[in-house]
A and B are shown apart, each in its own frame.
Chain A
């Protein structure tokens, strides 16, 4: 079946740092989505990518749909404390059900 490998599993940030995370797939996807989930809530869509090579920004967030269609990355620039949470990548082959990665936990360095 389809599998997504998301890395890193967790990371610590200091305010102002740039953050990068990525996802690779064993299958070709036609849609890549990035979500953020806070404790006790559902995932919230951050960025949706629909075309290979596409680079899309949403404020301080930038995501790219890999040329091979088997990977995607998410960058967060100049991180702030409210960026902490769990980030999930998700891919879809036919534009219907999504396969999710296991998530990247973003924590604040004390």
Chain B
């Protein structure tokens, strides 16, 4: 069990660029979650997958955001046309039902 792995750990991008993050969950977990965390706040739910099916998306997930989990293993989160307000820590978690185990996140800075 190597834990939940997220790459990259940090990403600095210019406004308007597209970015993609990757999450490798704990292999036996069927559920994978994406959360966003800003300074001084708790994580906010974005979306989750059960195996390869995306079961729920938060209203926080605008049309510029898309997440995939093509084979029910790793997942990617893409943000198109980034805005300064997208700057945050993006956390991935996995579990059997609740998101029990979190990765160390990808910190996105949009300049």
Give chain A's interface residues, CB within 8 Å of chain B: 4, 6, 31, 33, 35, 40-45, 48, 88, 90, 92, 95-103
Given A42-B4, A42-B91, is A96 in contact with B101 using a C-beta cutoff of 8 Å?
A: no
**B residues 33-58 touching A (CB-CB < 8 Å):** 33, 40-45, 48, 55-56
Q: Does B72 contact A (CB under 8 A)?
A: no
Docked complex Cα distance between A85 and B66 (Å): 32
List, in ascending order, chain A residues with CB within 8 A of B105's CB.
41-42
Task: Contact check, A96 vs B104: say whether CB atoms are below 8 A apart.
Answer: no
Contacts A42-B4, A42-B91, A43-B43 given; indicate if A98 touches B103 (C-beta within 8 A): no
A97 and B4 contacting across the interface, CB-CB below 8 Å: no
The distance from the CB of A50 to the nearest CB of chain B, in whole angstroms, is: 9
Chain B 71-108 against A: per-residue CB contact (8 Å), 1 yes, 0 no? 00000000000000000000101000111111111000
